[in-house]
């Protein structure tokens, strides 16, 4: 796995690249500590399907620079800026958590740039339960103050079914991505999100009500034990839209690509090359 850097929209962006063949973008989620490293164990197996897989730290995450604009809209538009910088005209996108919604929104806006999509653990794309209580939105999972190493472990345990995957090296890496400029970016993202949520009275149709209209082939993968009753809500989505290609993997929480790496890679690799 080769670590690289590239200037995109005036920002130094860190990314990983593995394999040769058609380009595939992997987008991490927005929880505190998220970075392209969440895909580290998956890059070589996916590249084994004859793909060139590219995972980058979004602006304000990992080893990438913090942006001036912390909105989700900026990070969604940045996907195309990154593709343009690397000379990628069209590619499949694999989006985890909040990035799944970003990818779906991009596919609706510019389907000519998105070949296929794999949505992983994006709860915001599932129908809500009538009895559901409000909780943290995707991207708000973190701490009110800069986390300690104990806090970082607790957040990882919340997102993983198999706690044995939290090695000392993984914990140290995740904690490094959770403090300093990355924690400040996390605070600014949440501030921008809350300011934006009440800025307009314009009514928009939730993406989960448009899943049958996504203009590109899409695979959905969720963890059975993920937060927010994900498995039950995935069932509701399948009932509402029977033709959805949706899979719920057992013994998995939010980091499906860790908890069920082999199964995830098989589903993803076969879909991307079919």
- For 227-260, how does the pLDDT look when each residue is reduced to its tens digit (9 = 90+)? 999 999 999 999 999 999 999 999 999 999 999 9
> What is the per-residue pLDDT for 139?
74
> What is the per-residue pLDDT for 131?
73
Domains identified in the chain and CATH numbers: 2-125+136-198+205-273 (3.40.50.1820)
Tokens 């995972």 locate to: 55
Per DSSP bridges, beta strands 114-120 and 218-223 are parallel
Three-state secondary-structure class, residue 75: helix
For the residues 2-10, what does the mean pLDDT come to? 94
| Residue 143 CA to its chain's centroid (Å) | 19
Q: What percent of the chain has pLDDT over 70?
A: 95
Distance (Å, rounded) from C-alpha 274 to C-alpha 95? Answer: 19
pLDDT in tens, 51-110: 999 999 999 999 999 999 999 999 999 999 999 999 999 999 999 999 999 999 999 999
**Structure tokens given for 178:** 């959770």
pLDDT score of 201 more than 70: no
pLDDT score of 199 more than 50: no
Q: Decide: 61 and 180 in contact? Cβ < 8 Å.
A: no
């Amino acid at each position: 796995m080769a670590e690289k850097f590239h200037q995109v929209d005036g920002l130094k962006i860190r990314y990983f690249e593995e394999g040769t063949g058609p380009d595939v973008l992997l987008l991490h989620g927005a929880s505190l500590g998220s970075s392209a490293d969440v895909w580290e164990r998956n890059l070589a197996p996916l590249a084994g399907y004859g793909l060139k897989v590219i995972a980058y730290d979004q602006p304000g995450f990992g080893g990438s620079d913090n942006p001036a604009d912390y909105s989700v809209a900026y990070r969604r538009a940045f996907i195309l800026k990154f593709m343009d910088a690397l000379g990628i005209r069209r590619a499949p996108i694999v989006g985890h958590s909040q990035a799944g919604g970003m990818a779906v929104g991009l596919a609706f806006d510019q389907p000519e740039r998105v070949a296929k999509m794999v949505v992983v653990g994006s709860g915001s794309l599932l129908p809500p339960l009538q009895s559901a209580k409000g909780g943290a939105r995707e991207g708000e999972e973190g701490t009110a103050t800069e986390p300690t190493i104990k806090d970082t472990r607790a957040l990882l345990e919340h997102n993983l079914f198999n706690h044995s995957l939290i090695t000392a090296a993984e914990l140290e890496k995740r904690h490094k991505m959770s403090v300093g400029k990355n924690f400040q970016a996390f605070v600014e993202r949440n501030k921008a999100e809350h300011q934006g949520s009440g800025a307009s009275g314009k009514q928009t149709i939730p993406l989960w009500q448009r899943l049958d209209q996504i203009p590109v082939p899409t695979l959905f993968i969720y963890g059975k034990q993920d937060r927010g009753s994900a498995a039950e809500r995935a069932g509701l989505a399948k009932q509402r839209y029977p033709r959805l290609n949706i899979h719920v993997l057992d013994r998995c929480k939010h980091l499906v690509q860790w908890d069920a790496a082999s199964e995830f890679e098989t589903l993803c690799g076969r879909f991307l090359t079919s």
